[in-house]
Chains A and B, each alone.
Chain A
């Protein structure tokens, strides 16, 4: 079970083993960060800044260093984004449209299944659009989620034009007063230009039908992905003006450290994290928990 300990408590426990802050501490830290996929440059940057901070504050005891490390990492995470909020943006009136994009197999459809349930529980009227008409079984997969969640779905036969599905769903959402429309799209690798264009087209149709929509374009990233996630974020942002990230599969041993670099270079924030395959395995993103996760490797080292 996911532990009820506070972040601070866990961290105290975690770092109790450190006697002093010496170079080997920073070596361990660098390796931990690289091991969490933050990338080499980012790891060096973080570790240099921490060295400075530790010097500046004249920290010697391990208990104090814990706080500095965590503060600094959260600060680094927050630095790049100032006015944005971690929550989702909703339409002032009429349906809110949330478009899901990402490469193959990252967890788009599953995240929609989880999120639809979340909002349905809050009493919202939810509609799903099965606009992945390409991958074998994709429509049926979303349909299973719609049934589980007890929400409605718009679908067409396999291989239909995805934009046509989106169009129909928008019409239905407007005329039948849905609160939220989730649009599932086929996975696509960011270097496939025509597939990226197709996605941009879907987004244009949404905006044409509902001028303020989509209120969110969520890029789903798999936490096990390495440095390529930065390319993904860049290209999907260019094509669809991504508004936030869902980081999935954080229930494994991967830490998704690349989101630090994404945050720094592209100013994209994580809004939700996926922690499993079940309907309630979705959480709002907590920077401090995430930092704890990045840091966790240091226990293993000792």
Chain B
């Protein structure tokens, strides 16, 4: 059945294993199959799934039989530990520059949520630490991209630097940074146009913006509903820009969000924030443990261990 969570899958697999004291080869094969399916159905990239399953398998084979836990429980425990390890154990805060301004540049595919997230982050810093951010409108391609950022700016009462659509984005950023320096803004956000990671010309433009601005933080914004393509996207942007963090948007939907695991696994870069709605307040820090449970479609690993 489609979209069956790992909970159901494992519970079924585990029923067969109950009462056994040791992990046998065939136990392991069945359980690993269920884990593999659950991850694929959650959109984790199949190469990432392959590696992940291999690691879990190796640990399970090598594991000593633990006191008080049956084989299936032990495997769940290993899955839990490995997932947490891959997703990053703790929350990673925003990088901040020792001297102002902290410059945060956004990058990502079309429609991922960059412009909205710029507003959310600026709003968050404003309310949390009374920050005085400036937002630079460097998307000269998408129709009304500047209007969108200006409207967002009005909503959260944050100034927007824009030069219309006839100036080169690199030049817009240069002048925007000068403006921020003159006005002593403590944070500068650079909203860039969405682009495909295979679009060399536009990827070069991002590289030039990076070179000029030397950003404290380069955020790759990714739609949580992304499928197998998440790996190609993350690699493309990371290879070109060496991003410093990831923001996962649209998690207020019903997607399992396996892209999170793929991106983390292939880039090693921390997911710092998640978008959970269209409102300016709908931004949360990323919790690796919650994400792990969500991808697996299970409430809580430990309760599953207790139940079996």
Interface residues of A (CB under 8 A from B): 31, 34-37, 39-41, 103-107, 113, 134-138, 140-141, 143-145, 148, 158, 189-192, 222, 224-231, 249, 251-255, 258, 261, 277
Contact = CB atoms under 8 A, between A and B. Distances in A.
Given A190-B254, A227-B227, A254-B227, A104 B152 contact: no
A106 B111 contact: yes
B72 interface: no
Interface of B: 2-3, 37, 40-43, 46, 109-113, 115-116, 119, 141-145, 147-152, 155, 196-198, 223, 225-229, 232-233, 250, 252-256, 258-259, 278
29 contacts: A37-B227, A40-B40, A105-B250, A106-B111, A107-B110, A107-B111, A134-B278, A137-B145, A137-B147, A138-B148, A143-B144, A148-B143, A189-B250, A189-B252, A190-B254, A222-B111, A222-B225, A225-B225, A226-B227, A226-B258, A227-B3, A227-B42, A227-B43, A228-B256, A231-B254, A254-B229, A255-B229, A261-B2, A277-B142
Contacts of A224: 109, 223, 226-227, 229, 233
Given A136-B151, A137-B147, 5 more contacts: A103-B250, A226-B258, A228-B255, A231-B254, A277-B110
Contact of B144 (A37, A39, A137, A231): A137
B254 A226 contact: no
B272 to A, nearest CB: 20
Contacts of A227: 2-3, 41-43, 227, 255-256
Contact of A105 (B46, B113, B144): B113
Contacts of A226: 43, 225-228, 255, 258-259
Nearest to A107: B111
A103 B116 CA distance: 15
B253 A190 contact: yes
A136 B226 contact: no
B139 to A, nearest CB: 11
B119 to A, nearest CB: 8
B143 A105 contact: no
A189 B109 contact: no
The 5 closest A-B pairs by CB, nearest first: A226-B227, A137-B148, A105-B111, A226-B43, A144-B143
A31 B250 CA distance: 27
Contacts of A103: 225, 250, 253
Most interface-central of A104, A140, A141, A222 (chain B CB within 10 A): A104
A145 B143 CA distance: 7
Contacts of B42: 227
B121 to A, nearest CB: 15
Contacts of B144: 137-138, 140-141, 143-144
Nearest to B232: A253
Nearest to A108: B111
B112 A253 contact: no
A255 B229 CA distance: 8
B199 to A, nearest CB: 9
Contacts of A148: 143
Q: Which of B40, B46, B144, B259 counts the most A-chain CB atoms under 10 A from its CB?
A: B144
Given A103-B250, A189-B253, A252-B109, A140 B40 contact: no
Contact of B41 (A39, A144, A145, A253): A39
A26 to B, nearest CB: 15
A32 to B, nearest CB: 10
A252 B2 contact: no
Contacts of A261: 2
Contacts of A39: 2, 40-41
Nearest to B37: A40
A35 B41 contact: no
Nearest to A113: B143
A134 B155 CA distance: 13
Contacts of B145: 137
B253 A137 contact: no
Contacts of B2: 39, 41, 227, 230, 261
A36 B228 contact: yes
A189 B240 CA distance: 31
A249 B226 contact: no
Contacts of A141: 142-144, 147-148
Contacts of A145: 143
A89 to B, nearest CB: 28
Nearest to B40: A40
A225 B119 CA distance: 24
Count chain B CB atoms within 10 A of each CB in A35, A143, A227 and give the residue with the most.
Answer: A227
A45 to B, nearest CB: 12
Contacts of A230: 2
Contact of A137 (B3, B111, B141, B151): B151
Contact of B46 (A31, A222, A251, A252): A31
B115 to A, nearest CB: 8
